[in-house]
Amino acid sequence: MLKIIIWCLGLIHLINPTQAEEQLLDEIVAVVDDAVIMRSDLDRAMASITKQIEASGNQLPPSDVLEKQVLERIIVQQVQIARAEQVGIRISDAEVDAAIANIAQQNNVTVDQMRAAIEQDGFTFTEFRDDMKRDMQTERVRYAFANSQVKVSDHEIDLFLADNELDQGEVELQHILVAIPASADASSVEAANNKITEVHEKLLSGENFAVLATQISDGQRALEGGHLGWRPVNQLPPLFSEQVKAMEIGELSQPIRSPNGFHIIKLLDKQSNVIKTVEQYHALHIMVETNQVVSPKEGMNIINNLHEKLMAGEDFSQLAEAHSDDHTSAPLGGDLGWFEINQYGSRMGDVIKELKEGEISEPFQTEVGWHIVKFLGKKEADITESFKRQQAENAIKERKMHEAVETWLHEIRGEAFVDIRI
């Protein structure tokens, strides 16, 4: 029941310098630019990750190895939070409440029951909320960066469809990465190559993939045993997808070289996902764009004021026509027409999926500004050529965004001032 809850408790709550001064008996274990990581935070994260690994049935790595991996995760998260703050990405309390309610629903419990389970595990609900907020903030800044960098051309879509890549199914994977620093010399590359070769030999001799991933991998999912979950084949990096197509369930890849390092993947399972029909959604939309003139905070004040008017009974279409910065839908009273769920971005899709017919969302933020949507309904529709092209564009974009995020995290971690004191 509590698999998702345990995973969320693995997210790390960092404290600022003012809080650190108040904890006179605590110890600073690392400094990350202007923030500090305290021993109490690391210990709490260690306890949480330990519960997560034990719940998965995997063997715990030595405590010093686990501590190093957990601390690195905290550091990378803090670097992302700093970037999010710089560009004005904020998470409202209402968004956190909605996310918590969604987790409770996925676990078939009420929020009160989830609170009790969290507290029974030795964590406070306030800590849990803070962790959720930080994870949502880092996820949003990653998406904002990648979305600003990635473009997909019509030619790429044509090639994708010509190769019939839409019907390649999904795969469940595990992953180990031995990273190479951006400025690595030949000896560093050789050392990484020797390390991944040694790991590969251990795996072939029967050692547990999840245990080695937790101990050795530099990947974002190391502490989850390298488990990547289910991924569409057409959204994998080409280096991975070409390997996966030729692999049998349970098989290991040879070490794979990429710009970020050396990889090993294991194919856990695969399935077909040929789509015959698709759900289409209908909604109204108001957007307040944030830019050099309107700051994120000013945009939030504007959208909250519009939301108050909607809750007081004012007409959505009239407010959209008068105030929305979505110049395509505003003249239509905010009407987006019929669309596939993530056509306007995964953030909007996630919000719409949680709404009942006729319901108006709370204000929410994306990389372009603040939004409110009113869900009008959904229907099943046959797949069209335009849908296939949209799916192809989404798959190519997801693939590119994943690669862009991996490179970006590598870069900002290298640029940050980090002083580890343990």
More confident residue, 59 or 329: 329
Sequence-separated (6 or more) residues with CB below 8 Å from residue 51 = 6, 9, 121
Tell me if 161 is assigned to some domain. Answer: no
Tell me if 226 is assigned to some domain. Answer: yes
Whether the Cβ atoms of residue 264 and residue 244 lie closer than 8 Å to each other: no
pLDDT at residue 12 tops 90 = no
pLDDT at residue 97 tops 90 = no
pLDDT recorded at residue 274: 63
- For residues 7 and 145, membership in a common domain is answered with yes
Which of 112, 139, 108, 138 is closest to 4 using CA atoms?
108
How far is residue 314's CA from residue 320's CA, in Å, rounded to a whole number?
11
Indicate the pLDDT class of residue 16, thresholds 50, 70 and 90.
very low
- For residues 261 and 282, membership in a common domain is answered with no
Degrees to nearest 5, angle at CA 235 with 233 and 237: 95
Look at residues 230, 254, 271 and tell me which one is the last residue of a structural domain.
Answer: 271
Distance of CA 240 to the CA centre of its chain: 20
Rg value, the chain, Cα? 23
Tell me if 95 is assigned to some domain. Answer: yes
Query: What CATH number is attached to the domain comprising 92?
Result: 1.10.4030.10
pLDDT recorded at residue 99: 83
- For residues 229 and 347, membership in a common domain is answered with no
Whether the Cβ atoms of residue 126 and residue 72 lie closer than 8 Å to each other: no
- For residues 374 and 241, membership in a common domain is answered with no
Q: What is the DSSP letter of 253?
A: P
- For residues 137 and 9, membership in a common domain is answered with yes
pLDDT at residue 390 tops 50 = yes
Tell me if 353 is assigned to some domain. Answer: yes
pLDDT recorded at residue 96: 87
- For residues 292 and 262, membership in a common domain is answered with no
Indicate the pLDDT class of residue 2, thresholds 50, 70 and 90.
very low
pLDDT at residue 362 tops 90 = yes
Look at residues 223, 247, 271 and tell me which one is the last residue of a structural domain.
Answer: 271
pLDDT recorded at residue 137: 93
Tell me if 260 is assigned to some domain. Answer: yes
CA 354 vs CA 106, 357, 403: distances in Å = 12, 10, 29
Average pLDDT over every residue of 102-130: 87
Average pLDDT over every residue of 19-38: 76
CA count, 13 A, side-chain hemisphere, 117: 18
pLDDT at residue 1 tops 80 = no
* pTM check: above 0.85: no
Tell me if 160 is assigned to some domain. Answer: no
Distance of CA 14 to the CA centre of its chain: 19
pLDDT digits (tens, 9 = 90+) for 34-59: 999 999 989 988 988 998 888 888 88
pLDDT at residue 337 tops 70 = yes
pLDDT recorded at residue 25: 60
- For residues 125 and 217, membership in a common domain is answered with no
Degrees to nearest 5, angle at CA 221 with 218 and 222: 50
Tell me if 34 is assigned to some domain. Answer: yes
Indicate the pLDDT class of residue 19, thresholds 50, 70 and 90.
very low
As for how many domains the chain has, the answer is: 3
> What residues form DSSP beta bridges with 199?
none
Express as a percent the part of the chain with pLDDT over 90.
Answer: 56
Average pLDDT over every residue of 319-325: 96
Indicate the pLDDT class of residue 4, thresholds 50, 70 and 90.
very low
pLDDT recorded at residue 23: 46
pLDDT digits (tens, 9 = 90+) for 142-153: 988 998 899 999
pLDDT recorded at residue 276: 66
pLDDT recorded at residue 57: 82
Whether the Cβ atoms of residue 107 and residue 5 lie closer than 8 Å to each other: yes
CA count, 13 A, side-chain hemisphere, 40: 14
**Which DSSP string corresponds to 152-184?**
--HHHHHHHHHTTGGG--EEEEEEEEEE--TT-
pLDDT at residue 234 tops 80 = yes
Number of CB atoms found within 10 A of residue 131's CB? 23
Helix/strand/coil (H, E, C) string of 78-139?
HHHHHHHHHCCCCCCHHHHHHHHHHHHHHCCCCHHHHHHHHHHCCCCHHHHHHHHHHHHHHH
Q: What is the DSSP letter of 15?
A: B
Look at residues 223, 238, 271 and tell me which one is the last residue of a structural domain.
Answer: 271
The rounded mean pLDDT for the chain is: 88
- For residues 265 and 291, membership in a common domain is answered with no
**Which DSSP string corresponds to 316-351?**
HHHHHHHH---TTTGGGTTEEEEE-TTTT-HHHHHH
pLDDT at residue 336 tops 70 = yes
- For residues 303 and 218, membership in a common domain is answered with no
Average pLDDT over every residue of 337-344: 89
How far is residue 267's CA from residue 288's CA, in Å, rounded to a whole number?
44
Average pLDDT over every residue of 60-80: 93
Tell me if 401 is assigned to some domain. Answer: no
Backbone angles phi, psi at 94, to 5 degrees: -65, -35
Which of 372, 346, 348, 377 is closest to 360 using CA atoms?
372
- For residues 202 and 260, membership in a common domain is answered with yes
- For residues 111 and 193, membership in a common domain is answered with no
Query: What CATH number is attached to the domain comprising 343?
Result: 3.10.50.40
pLDDT digits (tens, 9 = 90+) for 183-231: 788 999 999 999 999 999 999 999 999 999 999 999 989 999 999 999 9
Structural domain that includes position 132: 3-149
Indicate the pLDDT class of residue 6, thresholds 50, 70 and 90.
very low
Indicate the pLDDT class of residue 90, thresholds 50, 70 and 90.
confident
pLDDT recorded at residue 9: 46
- For residues 91 and 137, membership in a common domain is answered with yes
Which of 236, 165, 195 is closest to 406 using CA atoms?
236
pLDDT digits (tens, 9 = 90+) for 251-284: 999 999 998 899 999 999 998 866 667 889 999 9
pLDDT recorded at residue 103: 84
Which of 298, 367, 380 is closest to 146 using CA atoms?
367
Sequence-separated (6 or more) residues with CB below 8 Å from residue 392 = 157, 160, 161, 165, 166
234 sits in the region (left: phi over 0; alpha: psi -120 to 50; else beta) called alpha
pLDDT at residue 60 tops 80 = yes
List the single range of 156-160, 343-347, 372-376 with lowest mean pLDDT: 343-347
pLDDT recorded at residue 139: 92
